[in-house]
Chain A
Amino acid sequence: MREVAIIGVGLTKFGELWDQNIRDMFAEAALKAMENAKVEKIDALYVGSMSSGLYAYQEHLASLMADYIGQIGVPAARIESACSSGGQAVRIGYMDVATGMHDIVLVGGVEKMWDVEDGTFVLATAADQEYEVYNGVTFPGLYAMIAKAYMEKYGLTREELAQVPIKNHKHAVNNPNAQYPFEIDLKTVLNSTMVADPLRLMDCSPITDGAACIILCPLERAKEFTDKYVKIRGVGAATGPIALHDHKDLTRLEVVHLAAQRAYQMAGVGAEDIDFVEVHDCFSIAEIVVAEELGFFEYGKGGKAIAEGQATYGGKVVINPSGGLKAKGHPVGATGVAQIIEAYYQLTYQAGKRQVENARLGMTQNMGGSGGSCVVHILEGM
C-alpha cells in the first residue's frame, strides 16, 4: 500500500445556489481543486451523492461530471451511502491511489437540494422505507428519538442541547463558505419551530446546495505539485443497522465507535492526539453522541462537556471549527468531502480566523442515516 496525500481542494459557496445546476456546482468545485493542485489531467474520478435522482432528477453522475470538467474518457463512478456518500467516495479514492491503480484521483461530493419541494421525503429514503418511513418516521424524528432516550437516561437538559448549535454558529462566523455565518443565542434555539420533539429547527442542519472536491496522489509525488499537502493517515468505515429500532442501545451510535477504532488503529494514534475534529452534526444530539463514540468524552458526559466549552477553541478538542453541518450547511453528498477540506485548510494553516493553533492531526467523521454507515478519516499536516 502506498501513502496518500491531498494536494488540492475546491469548494462552492454553501447555501441556496439558484443559478447553478448540479453539474455547474460540481464543475466549479472540481476545476478549483484541479487549479489548486496544478493538475490538468486526472486518472480517475469518484463522485459522492446521496440522491441526485430524487433531488435533481439526474443519475449517471460520474460520466456527466467527467464530461463537464473536460476529462471525458477517464474511469469514473458515483458512490452512494446516504449522508456518508462523500466520506465513502474519499475512502474509495484513497484505496485507488494506495493500491497503485491510479495516481491522480479527483474525489468530489455534490447535492442539489433546493430544486425539490418535499425534501423531507428524500432524506427519509436513508431510513428503512418499509418498516420506519411507512409508519410515519421522518429523519429529524429518528434523531429526536435518540435525543429523547439520551435525555431520559443521562439527564441532559434542553438548554445544554442548545449549546451545540450555538457553538457551531459561533465557529461559522469565520467561515466565508458557510451558509449561515452568524451567531445565534439560547432564545433563538428555544423559540425556533418545533420539528420533532425535543428537536427544534435550530437543532437541525439546513437544506443546502453545494459541491466539494479534492485531488489525491501518492504521498511521494505530492511535492511535484505543491508544498501545501496533507497525508491521509487513517481510514475507518463501518456499517450499522439501517433501522434505528435495531440499535441495541438507543443512546449510542456504535457504528461511529467501530469506524473510529479502525481509523485510530491504522493511524497508530488515539483520541488524545487529535487537535480538531469535523463531526456529522446533522442534529444537535448527533454531535454529542458522536463525540462520545470517537472517545473524546465519556458516555453520557458529552453534552455537559460541550456546554462547558470543551469542544471549542481552548477546550479539550475543537469540534467543527468550520461551523459544522448546522451552520456551514449540509449538502448531503458533499458533506464528507467538505469535512476533509476543512481539515486540509486547518493542517496547511490556511483556515484564517478559525485556525486551530498548532494543528497537526485532524479527524473527520461522516455518517449515513441514523447510524447505518460511518466513515472516519485521520489526516496529518506535513
Chain B
Amino acid sequence: MANSQRYTREIPRRYRLEAQKFPSGFVSLPRRYVDPISGSKEYENIKLKGTGTILTYTIIHVTSDQFKFITPYAVAIIETDEGARITAMITDTSFEDIKIGARVELVFRKIMEEGPSGIVNYGYKAKVIV
C-alpha cells in the first residue's frame, strides 16, 4: 500500500486534466520536461476540455486483484481534441456503443479502493457520446 502522496501529487492531471503543450504540437498529460518530438524544454500549460476520440479499445475479462470487482470492463486509448493521448476506462456506456472512432467525454469517477484500510482513488474515465 502506497503513501497518500503518491496520489495527491497527480491530482492536477487526474482531477483537473492539466496538461502541457509543447512547440511541436505534442500535448502531454503526464508531466514532462522535454518535448519528445522536438527536444524543446519550453511549453505552455493548458487544460484539456475533456472531449476526444477512441483510437482503439479492449474489453478486459481477466485482471489484477485491484480491478476484479468491475470485470468485464472496457479500456480505450483516446486522443483528446487537443491531441493528448491517454488511456482510460470506459464508463456509463454499453459495450455495443464502444467503437474505434467513437466520440467520448471524460468524466470524474472513482477508480478503485486500495483495500479496507487504503486510499480511495479517483481520476478520469471516458463516456461514449451516443
Contact = CB atoms under 8 A, between A and B. Distances in A.
Interface of A: 117-118, 120-121, 124, 128, 130-132, 134-138, 140-141, 144-146, 148-149, 152, 193-199, 241, 243-246, 250
Nearest to B67: A136
B50 interface: no
Contacts of B36: 241, 246
A120 B70 CA distance: 16
A130 B30 contact: yes
Contacts, number: 106
A134 B85 contact: no
B58 A145 contact: yes
Given A118-B65, A135-B88, A245-B85, A148 B58 contact: yes
Contacts of B65: 117-118, 121
B57 interface: yes
B120 interface: no
Contact of A131 (B58, B73, B86): B86
A121 B10 contact: no
Given A136-B112, A140-B62, 7 more contacts: A118-B64, A128-B87, A137-B75, A145-B57, A145-B76, A152-B100, A244-B77
Where chain A touches its partner, the secondary structure class is mixed
A93 B76 CA distance: 39
A235 to B, nearest CB: 25
B121 interface: yes
Task: State the majority secondary structure of interface residues on B.
Answer: strand
Given A135-B111, A149-B56, A149-B100, A195 B86 contact: no
Contacts of A250: 55-56, 77
Given A145-B57, A146-B56, A195 B10 contact: no
Contacts of B64: 118, 120-121, 124, 138
Contact of A134 (B57, B60, B78, B121): B121
A136 B58 contact: no
Contact of A141 (B29, B75, B86): B75
A198 to B, nearest CB: 8
Interface string B73-107: 10111100000011111000000000010000000
B66 interface: yes
A196 B59 contact: yes
A53 to B, nearest CB: 16
Nearest to B66: A121
14 contacts: A120-B64, A132-B87, A134-B121, A134-B123, A135-B124, A136-B75, A136-B89, A141-B75, A149-B56, A152-B56, A152-B100, A196-B58, A197-B58, A244-B87
Interface in B14-54: 29-30, 36
B63 interface: yes
A124 B125 CA distance: 19
B60 to A, nearest CB: 5
Contact of A193 (B58, B62, B66, B78): B62
Contacts of B86: 131, 245
B75 A130 contact: no
Contact of B57 (A124, A131, A148): A148
A136 B63 contact: yes
B56 A120 contact: no
Nearest to A153: B100
Nearest to B77: A245
B83 to A, nearest CB: 12
Nearest to A143: B58
A137 B55 CA distance: 15
Contact of A246 (B66, B85, B112, B123): B85
Nearest to B99: A152
B100 A194 contact: no
A124 B77 CA distance: 16
Contacts of B62: 120, 138, 140, 193-196
A197 B61 contact: yes
Nearest to B73: A136
Contact of A135 (B30, B61, B123): B123
B73 A145 contact: no
A152 B102 CA distance: 14
A197 B63 CA distance: 12
Nearest to B84: A245
Q: What 5 pairs across the A-B complex have the smallest Cβ distances?
A: A144-B58, A245-B85, A121-B64, A149-B56, A197-B59
B64 to A, nearest CB: 4
Contacts of A194: 59, 61-62
A145 B77 contact: yes
